Every structure is written in structure tokens, then in C-alpha cells.
């Protein structure tokens, strides 16, 4: 046990120590509470929206056409090699791009321009429009998978 003589005082007195202890424990408890509230916020009550969207039989889409499909939020195109799905969601901030008369695409929100193949022509977008995966189910229906991007030259043969 340390004994203090005369006017000598410990650098940290008992009151000071208890004050620190009180404040410290309040801070720790608050930090824990804030952490748990953040976890509460991170809880997601509803299931994620399905990413696979059926778009009907592939031969519904005539050769050399491009059709906008609302439920898939994608342009479904068909060329000599087959069917492809170009995501209409702008890679900048998520507005839906519109087809220009020359076949390219323009975003109405911040004026990004894309070529017919989805490549960026002018900013602010820096990434090309995604090409979405297309596949056939057992009944011969085409399915767009919004959760999976593919290379731009990928086609679903018809």
C-alpha cells in the first residue's frame, strides 16, 4: 500500500478517478447502444425483389428490333446473332435511359449519352450500360436476370 506523506497527493485522486469511471462507462454504454441501433436499422424486413423476370418466348421479338420492357427495366434487342437484354438503368445515378432516334441512349436526369451497344459516348456516366443475362426456362420462355451482367457480345441464340 502506498502511503502519502505531508502535502503529497496522488496525481489522480479518488474523486477524479470515480468521475472518469462514471463518464467512461456512460460512453461505453452509449457506444454499444448506438451500435445496436445501427444493427436494428440494417435489418431488412421484406425479401429482396426477384431478379429473374420472365419476358415471354424469344421469337416474340422480331429481328432487328429493340423493345423496352417495363417489368425488366431493360431494352430487349434482337440482331442476326440472337437476343440480348440491355439494362435501361443508367450507370450514373439510376434513372432510366431513353432511346435516341439514332439508336443510342440518353439519360434524362444528367445528360449521359450511350451508344447502341451501351458504351459511354459522353459523361457524367463513366461505365457502360450493363448487358443482362438471358436464358430459357423449361417451357421455352426467355428470362432476364437483373442480378447478373454478361459481356456485351453475349447473345441468346434463337
Partner 1 sequence: MTTKRPNFFYHLHPPTLPARESRFGYTFGLGGISLLLFLVLGVTGVLEMFLYVPTPAGAAESVRQITYLAPFGWLLRNMHYWGGQMMVGAVALHMARVVLSGGYKGRRFNWLIGMALLVLTLLLDFTGYVLRWDQDTAIALVTGTNLINAVPGIGPMLYRLVIGGAAVGQATLLRFYAWHVLGLVSVAAVLIVWHSFRVRRDGGISHREPAPGPASRVGREQLVKTELVAALLTLVVLVGLSVAVDAPLGPAADLTVLAAELRAPWFFLWIQELLRSAPPFLAGVLAPLAVLLLLSVLPYALDREQAGVGEWFNRPGRAAQGVFLAVLITVIALTARGLLR
Asked if 10 is part of the footprint of partner 1 (rule: CB under 8 A), the reply reads no
Q: What is the DSSP letter of 16?
A: H
**From 12-20, 40-48, 54-62, 128-136, span contacting partner 1 (CB under 8 A):** 40-48
The smaller minimum CB distance to partner 1, of residues 88 and 134, is found at: 88
Of 59, 123, 127, 140, the one binding partner 1 by CB under 8 A: 123
Minimal CA–CA distance to 104: which of 84, 81, 126, 121?
121
The smaller minimum CB distance to partner 1, of residues 116 and 136, is found at: 116
Asked if 6 is part of the footprint of partner 1 (rule: CB under 8 A), the reply reads no
Of 70, 80, 102, 138, the one binding partner 1 by CB under 8 A: 70
Query: Cell 445496436, residue?
Result: 36
The distance of closest approach from Cβ of residue 126 to partner 1 in the complex, given in angstroms and rounded to an integer, is: 7
Residue 29, phi then psi, degrees to nearest 5: -60, -40
- DSSP codes, 77-112: EEETTEEEEEE-B-TTT-PBPEE-TTS-EE-TTT--
CB 61 within 8 A of CB 55: no
Residue numbers at the binding site for partner 1 (CB under 8 A): 38, 41-42, 44-46, 48-49, 68, 70-71, 73, 88, 92-96, 98, 108-111, 123-124, 126
Amino acid at each position: 500500500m502506498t502511503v502519502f506523506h505531508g502535502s503529497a497527493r496522488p496525481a489522480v485522486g479518488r474523486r477524479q478517478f470515480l468521475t472518469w469511471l462514471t463518464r467512461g462507462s456512460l460512453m461505453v454504454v452509449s457506444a454499444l447502444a448506438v451500435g445496436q441501433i445501427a444493427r436494428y436499422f440494417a435489418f431488412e424486413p421484406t425479401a429482396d425483389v426477384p431478379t429473374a423476370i420472365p419476358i415471354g418466348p424469344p421469337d416474340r421479338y422480331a429481328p432487328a428490333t429493340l423493345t423496352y420492357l417495363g417489368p425488366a427495366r431493360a431494352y430487349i434487342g434482337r440482331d442476326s446473332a440472337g437476343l440480348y437484354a440491355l439494362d435501361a438503368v443508367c450507370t450514373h445515378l439510376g434513372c432510366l435511359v431513353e432511346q435516341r432516334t439514332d439508336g443510342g441512349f440518353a439519360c434524362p436526369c444528367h445528360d449521359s449519352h450511350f451508344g447502341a451497344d451501351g458504351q459511354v459516348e459522353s459523361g457524367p456516366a463513366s461505365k457502360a450500360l450493363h448487358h443482362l443475362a438471358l436464358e430459357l426456362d423449361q417451357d421455352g420462355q426467355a428470362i432476364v436476370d437483373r442480378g447478373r451482367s454478361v459481356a456485351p457480345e453475349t447473345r441468346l441464340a434463337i
